[in-house]
Structure 1
Amino acid sequence: MSNLEFTLEDLKRILLEGAGADEGVDLDGDILDTDFEELGYESLALLETGGRIEREYGVEFDDDTLAENRTPRALVATVNALLSERVAA
C-alpha cells in the first residue's frame, strides 16, 4: 500500500461535500486550531464527516473520536495515526 496521508485539504473537501460551509466561514483561512463549532459544524455535520472519512480512508473511529478531536488539526492527526496503524498491521 502507498503512503496514504489525510491532509487539511482532504478534511475541507469532505466537510464541504457533506455539510457545506456556513456563510462567513472561510475554510481557506487559518482554521487548524479553530473549534469545529466555531466553523459552523455541529455534531450531526461531524458525524457525517466522520462517516465519509471512514468510508473513503478505510479507518474506523471509536464512539469518542469526533468528540475528542474538536479542531481540524486534532482530527487530521488522529486520522493519520489510524492510517499509520493500518499500514503497520
Structure 2
Amino acid sequence: MKPLTLAGLATILREVAGEDDAATLEGDIADVPFAELGYDSIAVLEMAACLSRDYGVNLSDEDVLGDATPRKVLELAGTEIAPAP
C-alpha cells in the first residue's frame, strides 16, 4: 500500500471537493483546521472514505470533523509530517 503524505492528502481533498471548488492548499497547512482551509463536513467525510478505500485508514467521523487538521489525520493514519527544509 502506498504511504500517505501531506501532498497525497491535499490531492484527495482537491479530488473530493472538485478542482474548481478546492481551497488553496499551499504553504504550511498541516495545523490549519479543514474548515479554515475551506472544506465543509461533506468534503471531509468524503476524504475519510477515500482514505479508507485507498490507504486502508479507517477514521471515525469524530476523528475528521470539528477542529481536525491535516496533521491530526496523518497522525491517526500513522504518518508523520516531514519537517520543512
In which range does the TM-score fall when normalised by the shorter chain?
0.7 to 0.9
Q: Identity of aligned pairs, percent?
A: 41
Rg larger for: 1
Q: Structure 2: where are the runs of 5+ without partners?
A: 80-85
CA RMSD of aligned residues (A): 1.9
After superposition, the C-alpha distances for 1:68-89 in whole angstroms (9 at most, x for unaligned) are: 66111111111126xxxxxxxx
Are 1:44 and 2:37 an aligned pair?
no
Scaled by the length of structure 1, what TM-score is found? 0.73
Correspondence for 1:84: none
1:14 and 1:49 in contact (8 A); partners too:
yes
Scaled by the length of structure 2, what TM-score is found? 0.76
1:6 and 1:76 in contact (8 A); partners too:
yes
Aligned length: 76
1:32 and 1:73 in contact (8 A); partners too:
yes
More helix as a share of residues: 1
Q: Identify the range of structure 1 (54-63 vs 12-21) with the bigger mean alpha-carbon deviation.
A: 54-63
After superposition, the C-alpha distances for 1:21-47 in whole angstroms (9 at most, x for unaligned) are: 13xx2x121101111101011110101
Cα distance, 1:63 vs structure 2? 3.7
Q: Which runs of 4+ in 1 moved over 2 A?
A: none
Counterpart-to-counterpart distance in 1, 2:16 and 2:61: 19
